Amino acid sequence: MPITREFIENGPWKPDLFRGKVVFVTGGAGTICRGQTEAMVLLGANAAIVGRNVEKTEKAAREIEQLRSGAKVVACSGTDVRDVHSLAKAVEKTVQELGRIDFVIAGAAGNFLSDFNHLSSNAFKTVVSIDLLGSYNTAKACFEQLRKNKGSILFVSATLHYYGIPFQLHVGAAKAGVDALSNALAVELGPLGIRSNCIAPGWIEGTEGFDRLMGGNLKRKVPLQRYGKVEDIAQSTIYLFSPAADYVTGTIQVVDGAVWHVGSFIGDDVYPVRIIAANNEPIGKL
Ligand code: HXC
């Protein structure tokens, strides 16, 4: 569900919090990162969204632009985060059309379920290249703008690597790397006035990841007794980019209703790990 004006009318934020600022978002046409972009645009920012799919990215940009009169949203479509030169062109286009970049969301990700035995080396490399190398490339391509504007970068991570999640080892390995990347950037770039943080969404309903990866009704396992909403991630994003977080860098903001602390992601009803291990069968292309 798109984020609407009610988000600011009923929310705690000043409507012009990000006026004159520009946010650059990889994966901005996807559900979570689109929600983050929508919230930033509603609060006054202009935006560039970056995606591989031309039609999807262009359409999302036009739609997000409608959220606020005078908003500008640039579509950097046909951009693959695995290619730093492709990202450099997207940055160039953004600066040409919007003048600057203040905030960066590195959110582009790829994922599928696969057990280790059937995960090819190329499949592992593909996910690590999109999620981890893509995050590095995004920071790299935006660095000059971040330095010039004393900007802030937010990596979209996960909680998968906090414990062993079967069939997600490729993503878990990549996201662990993303956390490490962000922490080191916070230390290296802090003296330049650049902040670097991660946001780690939990079970956010209505997202591609949720629909593809989750099964069964697991709400009761969440300490807060509900699934997350895209809006929950948007709210934390605003906080981390706002002046309220001026002294917050090198952190990982988990937004998951405390579910990872419970540590019971896997139930036999959801992921039949033992059956697969016993039969040595692929889990199929989900
Ligand atoms: C097993 C798969 C696979 C699948 C791809 N591969 N999909 N293996 N199951 N479902 C393998 C291929 O067989 C191939 O290995 C290698 O990965 C590369 O595949 P390509 O299709 O050539 O790569 P590419 O076109 O670059 O796309 C890869 C992809 C794709 C991004 C991973 O699955 C895709 O386009 N997905 C849609 C976008 C997406 O994943 N969104 C999810 C976002 S949710 P071989 O050995 O055959 O050459 C998310 C949340 C993460 O990321 C956090 C969760 C909590």
- Whole-number Å distance, alpha carbon 127 to ligand 1 midpoint, is 7
Residue 283 belongs to a domain:
no
Q: Is the dihedral of CA 186, 189, 195, 199 positive or negative?
A: negative
Residue 66 belongs to a domain:
yes
pLDDT at residue 135, as a whole number: 98
Residue 285 belongs to a domain:
no
* CB-ligand 1 contact for 199 (6 Å cutoff): no
User: Could you read off the pLDDT of 51-62 as tens digits, one per residue?
Assistant: 999 999 999 999
pLDDT of 268 strictly over 50 = no
pLDDT of 285 strictly over 80 = no
- Whole-number Å distance, alpha carbon 243 to ligand 1 midpoint, is 37
147 in helix, strand or coil?
helix
The mean of the pLDDT values for the chain is 91
* CB-ligand 1 contact for 228 (6 Å cutoff): no
Q: What percent of the chain has pLDDT over 70?
A: 90
Residue 284 belongs to a domain:
no
* CB-ligand 1 contact for 123 (6 Å cutoff): yes
pLDDT at residue 218, as a whole number: 81
Which position has the token pair 């994922």?
A: 111
Separation CA 191–CA 38 (nearest Å): 30
176 vs 220, more confident: 176
Question: Which atom of ligand 1 approaches the CA of 168 most closely?
Answer: 54
pLDDT of 208 strictly over 50 = yes
Number of H helices, E strands in the chain: 11, 7
Q: State the DSSP H helix or E strand holding residue 40, giving kind and residue range, or none if neither.
A: helix 31-42
Q: What is the pTM of this model?
A: 0.94
Task: pLDDT band for 217, please (50, 70, 90 cuts).
Answer: confident
- Of 6-10, 102-106, 187-191, the poorest mean pLDDT is in 6-10
pLDDT at residue 213, as a whole number: 65
- Total structural domains in the chain? 1
* CB-ligand 1 contact for 120 (6 Å cutoff): yes
Separation CA 179–CA 197 (nearest Å): 8
Q: Residue 196 maps to which CATH number? A: 3.40.50.720
- Whole-number Å distance, alpha carbon 123 to ligand 1 midpoint, is 7
- Whether 157 is catalytic is yes
Catalytic residue, chosen from 175, 182, 196, 236, is 175
* Candidate from 79, 83, 86, 112 with most ligand 1 atoms within 8 A of CB, to mutate: 112
Question: Which atom of ligand 1 approaches the CA of 110 most closely?
Answer: 40
Residue 261 belongs to a domain:
yes
End-to-end CA distance of the chain: 23
208 in helix, strand or coil?
helix
Residue 132 belongs to a domain:
yes
Residue 101 belongs to a domain:
yes
Residue 286 belongs to a domain:
no
- Whether 175 is catalytic is yes
| Residue 185: C-alpha distances to residues 90, 129, 233 (Å) | 22, 19, 22
pLDDT at residue 68, as a whole number: 96
User: Could you read off the pLDDT of 78-110 as tens digits, one per residue?
Assistant: 999 999 999 999 999 999 999 999 999 999 999
pLDDT at residue 283, as a whole number: 60
**Domain range holding 151?**
5-278
pLDDT mean over 177-186: 98
* CB-ligand 1 contact for 32 (6 Å cutoff): no
pLDDT of 183 strictly over 70 = yes
